[in-house]
Structure 1
Amino acid sequence: AELSERLLDELQATDSPARAAKLESLLWQTWYFHEDEAARQLLRDGSDLLAEGDLDEAKKRFLHAAILEPGWAEAWNRLATVNYLLGFYDESLAEIDKTLEIVPRHFGALSGRGLVMLKLERYREAVEAFEDTQEVCPTSRSATSNKAFAEALQEKSLRLGV
């Protein structure tokens, strides 16, 4: 946890996209690692299944990992991702909250919250989530473009009175 906090501090402070990319990669590796081999294997298997498009089986592996190691942020984050892809947005938000309880500056979870809010047409909250992502990772191009997209949708919904 101490290492990831130092990396997050550095990520927040850098204005170099190349350095930010390196830090992001290191953070993902740090978050992905767990001392428990069984939990690590569940996350590996779930990630492989997710890449193959087998969302239901991936969800089972991620859920098992989260139950086995409830303090492991990345297990919750992966579960949030698969539930988002399955269209279970309330579950995804709950798992994002768990991820952020453990790692408050988890930029993947912050960005994920924004994506869920877009799906729920809660555009103001989507904008806020992408701003939170930018605060942690100022060089994030996806957060910048997603925020602009959310702002455009928010503006359109306000114009239409939706």
Structure 2
Amino acid sequence: MLVGTLVGQELVDDGAGDPEGRLAHRIRVERVLKGDAGRAWTAYSPNTSARWTGDIGKRYVFFAASGELESSCSGLDTPAYVARVDAELRQFRRAKTASIEGTTVGLGPRSPRPLLIAESRAGTHAIRIDADGRFSGELPPGRYRLHADNLRPSVYSAPLGHVTLQAGQCALLELESVR
């Protein structure tokens, strides 16, 4: 992940005989947020209908894995958002805590409000669920065992159990009543 200026794009052979197999993006790197890149970097987009193209001379936040750009259709493709996104991403480097947050479904208005419990070697943290079914709690980075009486993960959520949280990371959960 990096912030940089797109300085060139060209179609290149993908090595399988297709001269228009990949689009090479040449980037002047301003700052690396995660990973390794020098002052100049080339990343590739595959020959697909969702292939990303940018405007030469504009700044972007680039996301890539193994040299392949992740295609997106989002605010990150709008150069006007780059400064704001860049500033927000810098905040992660200064983060000292992690968080867990989410919502519950299926709890009636008179249901007792259960607690989400996060246990680690350093201690136990109880995260309260409010009257609207929302919860949020800050924790030190570490490995936690998560559980809650009468709640289970919904089909849209990661399972409860063990989770490792890094500084700046937020684990999002949706829990549902088992009653």
Shorter-chain TM-score: what band?
A: under 0.3
- TM-score, with normalisation over the residues of structure 2? 0.22
Higher strand share: 2
Structure holding more helix per residue? 1
Q: Which has the larger radius of gyration?
A: 2
The TM-score normalised by the length of structure 1 is 0.23
